[in-house]
């Protein structure tokens, strides 16, 4: 089977919003789907058994009616009447119970399969590189792992019902032939005429339901993006409520329109079903009644035939949707398979090396070149918000080239250079968020591609400018780094990170909730908490992006003290924005255009009179107003680099033009 199908279905209407990123169902998908049912084969067998018993009950009760009328009522035998009535009641109760049990079992199977698939998909997504997450729209990914699987699983329930309906239909037809071959033949001819419009309406309903789910997922993704703290902040600051409202309204309007048409079609299906049943029954009453008058069969047989007919429509309708349901399941599953088949770019090799604990290692970059991966290499177009078709297939430019340097164990290296030079990218390679395209990054002499993920995570600690905190208590945020930390260890880490006084002053102490993305804390406080989290983890290598923004001088001094503690006795790579940090570095690397343009100590680089000296002199050689250094100013350097100078002597580059 090689079907290309849009998940929302191909039905044409004004609500159609053709999606160019269709899900391609690959050959072998059905076999793969069935593979997920293998562990539940026992339950499937039990379900089939129970469903068969249920089908037998469905066809047995009309026979009781036949006997009740022919042998009881018509022959005036009260004993038969009572016995048949009791048996019919017993069968009805048994049928109800069996239906409940079969619903439970089919639920267990469907839920079990979607549980297995979901856990597998989550584990897989965890292994995907950071590049995947930078490209993927979170809301859509959540939809893929959640809503779409639920839908496939619900459809599975219908599939099981439809499959067992087959047995019921066969048994009912056999019994019809047994009771009256003439009525059975007429029924067989007439029923498809009624079923065809029903099938059409059923398909429309199914496609619109799928499109409704797609539209809901799209709206969910949008809301998730706009209503997280930063999205809400952006929309408030840019003040475009009307455009935002128009976007919501248009999407919600689409959902409304599909909802309205769904309820109309749903009602139509209901009416058609009733009409179908009434017309067929009227026909059989007419035909059967005349056969009774002719003495071809007795009244009880007619009652049984009419009852049987009533039990034929439901299963036939379910059977008619079998193919559509199966296809929806296969497409739903293949959407998850698509994700599972995305090969993680960064993998742990077999028998990886563990870096030694508690020993600060050196870091070495050897002929490193790097470019960010293409969309095709790391993501799925269907999960990207901006489906930049043109971008796909294009190779992004090299961000790092010919990078060679060594950070000796236990020393600090500062990275400076213009914005976009590649400093952050370079630090990403140390924590193996990305692998170099060529060349080698070594920690403690080991190629990072040989090192186990666990030991790399233990060895390398990262503090970014915008520290991320979970919406949880301060304690839980700290314990994330070391779940077994004692209260004393937590306090010690917080003291080292200069955040203990603040935590101690909070009424809730460690149990204070830090809010969505830690929003109730200031930038400096968040960064110090992140440093405390890192101190708990005790990595031997520190990768740090010094904060450039929104710290008042008191907070800034506190962060500086915290960093001093954090960097002590560790090998560190710091994207430095402050002169004090740069001066303290054992080595400074000036990064420019993805290369190490210069390296040395502050004094050496000044003496060399190159780019660093130029940057430094441009910044400090300017005459100060009133003999004092301005509290904050932006100065364009001759090479286009701008520095913001803030007290006490911090060095921040803002932008490099040209």
Interface with ligand ATP by CB under 6 A: which residues?
Answer: 134, 372, 396, 399, 417, 419-425
DSSP letter for 433, please: S
Q: Are the C-beta atoms of residues 541 and 430 closer than 8 Å to each other?
A: yes
Q: Which is nearer to ligand ATP, 193 or 655 (CB)?
A: 655
Q: C-beta of 424: minimal distance to ligand ATP in Å?
A: 3
Q: Write out the H or E segment, with its range, that includes residue 441.
A: strand 438-443
Q: Which is nearer to ligand ATP, 481 or 574 (CB)?
A: 574
Q: Which is nearer to ligand ATP, 77 or 614 (CB)?
A: 614
Rounded to whole angstroms, how far apart are CA atoms 442 and 449?
9
Question: Environment class of residue 508 by beta-carbon count within 10 Å: exposed (0-12), middle (13-18) or buried (19+)?
Answer: exposed
Look-up: residue for tokens 């690959």? 26
Q: C-beta of 548: minimal distance to ligand ATP in Å?
A: 8
Rounded to whole angstroms, how far apart are CA atoms 252 and 137?
20
Cα 292 to Cα 182, 185, 189, 306, distances in angstroms: 13, 17, 21, 13
Q: C-beta of 456: minimal distance to ligand ATP in Å?
A: 20
Q: Are the C-beta atoms of residues 336 and 514 closer than 8 Å to each other?
A: no
Q: Which is nearer to ligand ATP, 240 or 392 (CB)?
A: 392
Q: Give the relative orientation of helices 241-293 and 299-320 as an angle to the nearest 10 degrees.
A: 150
Q: Where are the beta strands (DSSP E) in 230-389?
A: 363-371
Q: Are the C-beta atoms of residues 207 and 5 closer than 8 Å to each other?
A: no
Q: C-beta of 649: minimal distance to ligand ATP in Å?
A: 19
Q: Which is nearer to ligand ATP, 30 or 391 (CB)?
A: 391
Q: Which is nearer to ligand ATP, 460 or 503 (CB)?
A: 460
Q: Are the C-beta atoms of residues 462 and 543 closer than 8 Å to each other?
A: yes
Rounded to whole angstroms, how far apart are CA atoms 47 and 98?
10
Q: Which residues pair with 416 in a beta bridge?
A: 590
Q: C-beta of 394: minimal distance to ligand ATP in Å?
A: 12
Kindly state the tokens that stand for 79: 């004993």
Q: C-beta of 422: minimal distance to ligand ATP in Å?
A: 4
Q: C-beta of 430: minimal distance to ligand ATP in Å?
A: 13
Rounded to whole angstroms, how far apart are CA atoms 318 and 196?
13
Q: C-beta of 566: minimal distance to ligand ATP in Å?
A: 20
Q: Which is nearer to ligand ATP, 420 or 648 (CB)?
A: 420
Q: Which is nearer to ligand ATP, 466 or 614 (CB)?
A: 466
Which of 379, 397, 398 has its CA nearest to residue 388? Answer: 379
Q: Which is nearer to ligand ATP, 427 or 540 (CB)?
A: 427
Q: C-beta of 587: minimal distance to ligand ATP in Å?
A: 18
Q: Are the C-beta atoms of residues 176 and 183 closer than 8 Å to each other?
A: yes
Q: Which is nearer to ligand ATP, 309 or 544 (CB)?
A: 544
Q: C-beta of 121: minimal distance to ligand ATP in Å?
A: 23
Q: Are the C-beta atoms of residues 355 and 446 closer than 8 Å to each other?
A: yes
If DSSP codes are grouped into helix, strand and coil, which group holds residue 23? Answer: strand
């Amino acid at each position: 089977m090689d079907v290309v199908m849009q998940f929302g279905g191909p039905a044409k209407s004004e609500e159609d919003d053709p999606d160019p990123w269709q899900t391609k169902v690959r050959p072998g998908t059905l076999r793969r789907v069935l593979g997920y049912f293998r562990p539940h084969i026992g339950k499937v067998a039990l379900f089939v058994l129970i469903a068969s018993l249920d089908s037998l009950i469905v066809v047995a009760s009309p026979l009781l009616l036949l006997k009740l009328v022919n042998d009881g009522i018509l022959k005036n035998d009260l004993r038969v009447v009572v016995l048949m009535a009791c048996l019919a009641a017993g069968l009805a109760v048994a049928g109800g119970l069996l239906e409940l049990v079969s619903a439970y079992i089919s639920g267990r199977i469907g839920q079990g399969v979607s549980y297995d698939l979901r856990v597998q998909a989550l584990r897989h997504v965890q292994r995907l590189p950071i590049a995947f997450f930078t490209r993927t729209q979170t809301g859509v990914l959540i939809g893929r792992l959640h809503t779409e699987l639920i839908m496939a699983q619900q459809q599975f329930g219908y599939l099981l019902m439809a499959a067992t309906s087959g047995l019921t239909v066969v048994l009912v037809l056999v019994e019809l032939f047994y009771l009256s071959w003439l009525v059975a033949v007429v029924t067989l001819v007439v029923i498809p005429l009624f079923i065809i419009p029903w099938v059409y309406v059923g398909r429309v309903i199914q496609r619109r339901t799928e499109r409704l789910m797609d539209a809901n997922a799209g709206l969910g993704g949008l809301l998730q993006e706009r209503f997280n703290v930063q999205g809400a902040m952006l929309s408030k600051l840019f003040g475009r409520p009307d455009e935002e409202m128009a976007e919501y309204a248009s999407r919600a309007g689409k959902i409304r329109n599909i909802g309205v048409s769904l309820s109309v079609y749903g009602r139509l299906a209901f009416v058609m079903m009733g009409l179908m049943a009434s017309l067929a029954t009227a026909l059989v009453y007419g035909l059967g009644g005349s056969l009774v008058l002719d003495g071809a069969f007795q009244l009880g047989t007619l009652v049984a035939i009419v009852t049987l007919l009533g039990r034929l429509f439901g299963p036939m309708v379910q059977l008619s949707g079998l193919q559509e349901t199966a296809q929806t399941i296969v497409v739903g599953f293949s959407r998850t398979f698509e994700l599972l088949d995305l090969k993680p770019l960064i993998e742990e090799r077999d028998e990886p090396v563990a870096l030694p604990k508690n020993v600060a290692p050196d870091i070495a970059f050897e002929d490193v070149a790097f470019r960010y991966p293409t969309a095709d290499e790391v993501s799925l177009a269907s999960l990207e918000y901006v489906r930049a078709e043109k971008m796909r297939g294009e190779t992004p430019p090299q961000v790092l080239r010919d990078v060679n340097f060594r950070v000796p164990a236990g020393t600090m290296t500062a990275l400076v250079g213009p914005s976009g030079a590649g400093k952050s990218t370079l630090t990403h390679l140390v924590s193996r968020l990305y692998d170099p395209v060529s060349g080698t990054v070594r920690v403690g002499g080991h190629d990072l591609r040989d090192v186990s993920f666990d030991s790399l995570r233990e060895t390398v600690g990262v503090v970014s400018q915008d520290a991320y905190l979970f919406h949880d208590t301060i304690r839980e945020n700290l314990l994330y780094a070391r779940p077994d930390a004692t209260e004393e260890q937590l306090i010690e880490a917080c003291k080292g990170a200069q955040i203990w006084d603040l935590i101690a002053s909070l009424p809730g102490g460690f149990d204070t909730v830090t809010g969505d993305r830690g929003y109730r804390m200031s930038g400096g406080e968040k960064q110090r908490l992140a440093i405390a989290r890192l101190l708990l983890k005790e990595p031997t290598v520190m990768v740090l992006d010094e904060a450039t923004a929104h710290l008042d001088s008191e907070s800034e001094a506190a962060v500086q003290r915290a960093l001093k503690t954090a960097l002590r006795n560790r090998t560190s790579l710091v994207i430095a924005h402050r002169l004090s940090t740069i001066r303290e570095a054992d080595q400074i690397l000036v990064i420019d255009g993805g290369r190490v343009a210069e390296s040395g100590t502050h004094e050496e680089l000044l003496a060399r009179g190159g780019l660093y000296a130029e940057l430094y002199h441009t910044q400090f050689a300017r005459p100060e107003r009133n003999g004092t250094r301005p509290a904050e100013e932006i100065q364009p350097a001759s090479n286009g680099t701008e520095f913001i100078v803030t007290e006490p002597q911090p060095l921040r580059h803002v932008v490099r033009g040209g």
